[in-house]
Amino acid sequence: MSPSLVVFAWALGKTLPVFLWKGLCIHAVAMGLLLSLRAGAPRPRYVVSCLALLACGVVFAVDVAQGYRIELASLAQGGMARADGGQAAAVQAYWPVWLAAGWLAGAVLVALRTGLGIAWLRRVVSASTPWTDAAWRTRMAAMAQALRLPRTVGLRIARGLSTPITAGWLNPVILVPAHLVTGMPADLLEALLAHELAHVRRLDFLVNLLQHGIEALLFFHPSIWWLSRRIRVERERIADEIAAGLVGDPRRLARALDALSRSADHGDDDARVGLAQGAKHGPLVDRIRRLVHPRVAARRSMAASLLAAVLAMAGASLWSAADPGRAQAAPGADDSRGVLADYPAIQSLVETSGAAHVLVVDTRSGGRLAARAENEVVPIASLTKLMTAMVVMDANLDMTQAVRIEEADAVATREGMSRLPVGTVATRDTLLKLTLMASDNRAAYALARSYPGGLPAFEQALERKRLALGLAHTTLREPTGVSSANRSTASDIARIVGAAATYPAIVRDTVALDEDVNAAGGVIRYRNTNALVGREGWDIRLSKTAASERAGRCLVMRVQVRDRDLTLVLLNARRQPA
């Protein structure tokens, strides 16, 4: 599967649940506006319903496009799974891809139903015959001229229909059931044809097709079907108004609709998809009542007006909560300062570090206390070693087994720092402590090289771990972090910290103060690279630092502050955060 297709599926899957809320917000605003309009005013009600449905389609498409652009940028920076075997694994591991697949199946079924309706309509048109009666053609021409129709309307007789219907918009044609031609009084049939001409004048067939397209796109949302039904109801009411004015007698159209409802059903067109407008469609009893008593309209009570205002305001206010861009937007430094006021030590650490990417999270609740550019993909340097340690621990290796530092370890990490001489022999447990506490690159590389199956097997296990943790914006090319291709976001790093905190050995080693190692040239004393570890007033439960020219200075910690467990991520700081 191509990377761009997986990225699109990912963006689509993430947009679907968010749009459920956005659609409800649009629905609430539309209901409020509809409640504020008179029931006897179908034109503004039709406009509101159409705009609401169109807004749903546009918002969904824009959100998917924006999500795809963001995810594609992350892929270009190395944030998504690699384009080799990693993409297939991503499809199995990530719920957005499966959700997108389910959406595609549903959309195809709805679109297929519409396609079958189009095919049925084309067969009906092909099987129909022209209505050549000169008198009726003259009547049709007069009504078309009165409506100022810019195009010629065909008139054909069809069998198997129960009501006149309109098909097409470039070359529109009105299909008249054969039993109505011979069985309905001429004045009533003329009223029905006037109704169909009103649909032609308003391009309702084209609007209806667009409506079906949005229904297929957003079939999963009940608000879409509610809005579509409202559009069809108001559409028929508007056509009735135009037709009543055209024939000059609303009661005549009412009698025609009544006669149509009583006529025998000679076809199964009502069971078909409603692609073509028909005079029999919509709530006939309500339409007849409106034609007979056009001035009777329900009065709007104060309660209805109040409910309309509440619904509109609720929909507008909830929009911000449903907007993923707003929900994910990181507050600036000034916003963080207010939230962190109760934690002056954390606040001071964040401010003095000058970190470009910040995330402070309540570990238990998941609530964010501060965030800044937490979803931007950046190099992470030695923070990679937390993932390396988890992969080594997952293999259940003999941690007392001795591993020798080889020349290959020095060559692979020559761009990074290490105090371990080539030839040093240490246990895996010691190498793990040096990897986490002192961020020694040769120790980390030796752990990966000595992994069962060698470095290729370790890289595969590292990729599986990345997928298992759902790190959609993380790329890990090697085990130490010396490569700037190892990239992630503050949000993904917080997830890594949460996973690492479940390993007692990792927790122990990241907060160890120091370690003496018998190296080839003598005893080397290592100290924790985080100067806050062991300092009075700091209850640090997990720690890892990183530094490089590309990544800047980085720090992650889990720290206990007044019975509150916080996860802190600082990336690309200007100065040493600790």
465 is in an annotated binding site: no
What element of type H or E holds 209?
Answer: helix 204-217
- Which residues, at least 6 apart from 65, have a Cβ–Cβ distance to it below 8 Å? none
pLDDT in tens, 23-54: 888 888 888 888 888 777 899 999 999 999 99
pLDDT at 317: 55
- The size of the chain, in residues, is 578
Rounded to the nearest 10°, the torsion over CA 203, 204, 206, 212 is 170
Domains within the chain, CATH numbers bracketed = 344-573 (3.40.710.10)
Degrees to nearest 5, angle at CA 324 with 318 and 330: 105
pLDDT in tens, 246-291: 999 899 999 988 888 876 544 444 445 455 655 556 577 788 888 8
Read off the pLDDT band of 316 (50, 70, 90). Answer: low
What distances in angstroms separate CA 322 from CA 23, 56, 112, 314, one per listed residue? 9, 13, 31, 12
Find the range with the poorest average confidence among 451-455, 517-521, 535-539, 551-555.
517-521
pTM: 0.56
Q: Are the C-beta atoms of residues 410 and 418 closer than 8 Å to each other?
A: yes
To the nearest 10 degrees (0 to 180), the angle between helices 3-36 and 86-93 is 30
Active site residues: 382, 385, 439
Looking at this protein, which amino acid is placed at residue 331?
P
Cα 237 from chain centroid?
36
pLDDT surpassing 60 at residue 509: yes
Read off the pLDDT band of 401 (50, 70, 90). Answer: very high
> And the tokens for 291?
């034609």
Read off the pLDDT band of 368 (50, 70, 90). Answer: confident
Name the region of 249 (left: φ>0; alpha: ψ -120 to 50; beta: rest): beta
Q: Mean pLDDT, to the nearest integer, of 311-336?
A: 47
pLDDT at 314: 57
Cα–Cα distance measured from residue 115 to residue 113, given in angstroms and rounded to the nearest whole number = 5
Phi, psi of 167 (to 5 degrees): -130, 140
Q: Percentage of residues in the chain with pLDDT exceeding 70?
A: 83
Looking at this protein, which amino acid is placed at residue 18?
V
> And the tokens for 269?
């067109």
Cα–Cα distance measured from residue 77 to residue 379, given in angstroms and rounded to the nearest whole number = 10
What distances in angstroms separate CA 325 from CA 73, 94, 497, one per listed residue? 16, 21, 25
